[in-house]
Amino acid sequence: MWPRLQVKTEVKALVPGMKCMRDGEMGTEGSDHNRDTSGASPMTLGAVGAVGEWLSTVQDLVRQERERQQSGSARTAGDIDPAETIEKMIAHFEVLGVFVNIDMNEWAAKAAKYIDNIDNLNDADLLTLRKLLSYHRKTGGRNGHYLKIAMNGHLLRLLRRFQGIYREVEDRTLV
């Protein structure tokens, strides 16, 4: 039910332009996937993949909550607990180093571009995704806000983009 918590930290092969740093961090020259000007630590390829693995869990949570809302029924013992699930996801993101320091005043307008039109996330780079999750963490608190952005599709699109970046880089490393 929960994504595996073990993080794969090795990059199988170097990709043109890919720097494999001492502890398996990924950074790509000529790509904005992991470019950072704020001093945030790069994420490992495994960490990027581990974030994306939450997609199916959050999809199940959204499906369950929609069905529950439509039927008007209460949660049952077998249901996924939204608060517990979101707490575990956030804690996992903290361990993976997803969250970065952001200037909230500077990021409010930038975040709105992605929040108001989730299609803009389709081409977002890794640092932008990390900043968006950090922005949500700072503005909305924890469980209730994350459940809201899961239900409106924003969190699902963010996680889908993490998966996309992981696959893009992994596909190039397997060649």
The tens digit of pLDDT for each residue in 72-118 reads 998 888 888 998 999 899 999 999 999 999 999 999 999 999 999 99
State mean pLDDT over 36-40. Answer: 57
Query: Residue 141 has what pLDDT?
Result: 63
Calpha distance 113→123 (Å, rounded):
13
Q: What pLDDT does residue 142 have?
A: 57
Q: Write down the mean pLDDT value for the chain.
A: 79
Instruction: Provide the domain count of the chain.
Output: 1
Q: What is the pLDDT of residue 23?
A: 35
Provide mean pLDDT across the span 63-77.
Answer: 91
Tell me if 104 is assigned to some domain: yes
Q: Which domain holds residue 118?
A: 18-173
Cα 74 to the center of its chain, rounded Å? 29
Asked whether 49 and 41 are in contact (CB, 8 A), the reply is no
